[in-house]
Amino acid sequence: MKKAAIVVLIIILLIGSFVLRTVWRAGSFKTINNGFSGSTQKIEGPTGVEDITIDQTTGLAFLSSDDRWASMLHKKPVKGAIYRMNLNDSIPEPIILTNEFEQDDFHPHGISLFSKNGRKFLFVVNHRQSGNTIEIFEYANDSLKHKESISHELIISPNDVVAVGERQFYFTNDHNEKMSTWRYVKDLLTIGTGNVCYYDGQTVQETSAAGIKYANGINVSLNREKLYVAAASDLKILIYNRDSISGALTKSGEINTNTGVDNIEIDAEDNLWVGCHPQLLKFLSHAKDESAKSPSEIIRLRNLGGDKFEQETIYMNDGSEISASSVGASYKNTLLIGPVFQHHFVFAERK
């Protein structure tokens, strides 16, 4: 009996220590102090602005919008949209660009802008009811023209995309399998099943970037030689060298951020701006309850070269101004902060 009791006690202690570690790493014991050096205002209208990317040469911002609460909680999906804002306007306003897009089953998630020889292409993760796709649009004459939809069996649970050519891109699968009880168990056990796949213009292939704990945001350096991947539940940004010919990736480093990293944006100086969830368990509550608040954080990772970065929290909020920030996109002194679910985003100006 004593041996059995000891075994049971050991099991209880192991489970308890695992739970405590999980709760600790999820940020449950963090103190959230509101802070931002500058002014902010809420912009109502676009819902669930989960991702934002900015053309640093023109100041044009593109916003991905989808009402996820309508789909998840109310089971009444609403067609999503892509918006544009000109940050050089005296009063920038979001203007919808996808009214003419004939696909009603449009639920955009991560987006990426690629420019070459004066042409601009917007890549969009689209969660169709019939299956996930990557949509490619061309932006010209203040409008988006749909070019093609790309589907593949490896586009399983896509979260974000980054373009490296007119038809070439990487994307993250936050999981390499569809939703199931076993997938949920793996999440509880913090088993990484996320990956990065590459489309070379003809077919999709899985890269060596696999086994990632919730592969989330993805982006490339200005010279497109480095690729960055957010491992959200691992609280890390993973760094890879990329072969521009084959698309192959080789891990070269990682950044321990101590926060739940989401989308990654690159500014004109090659710094990383990351939307973060400092308390991941509150994010899960917020996803299920519109009244539950989830803290928001935007960090800047100043690029020091050689895979070295200096981390600074630019914006922190307890969720009262904006909950569950998934992206912070910077242009000059302007910072756009988007949420996963809410019906507004934040327009901020830094001092």
Instruction: Give me the active site residues, please.
Output: 109
Closest Cα to residue 113, out of 155, 144, 80?
144
The CA distance from 17 to 5, in Å, is 18
Residue in the structure block whose two tokens are 């989808």: 66
Question: What spatial distance separates the first Cα and last Cα of the chain, rounded to whole Å?
Answer: 68
The CA distance from 147 to 258, in Å, is 40
The CA distance from 80 to 211, in Å, is 30
Dmax (CA) of the chain? 79
- Contact between 296 and 279 (Cβ < 8 Å): no
Residue in the structure block whose two tokens are 């489970």: 15
DSSP character at residue 294: -
User: Tokens representing 37?
Assistant: 């050096």
In three-state secondary structure terms, 345 is: strand
Among the residues of the chain, which ranges form H helices?
2-25, 68-72, 181-188, 280-288
- Contact between 296 and 323 (Cβ < 8 Å): yes
- Contact between 346 and 92 (Cβ < 8 Å): no
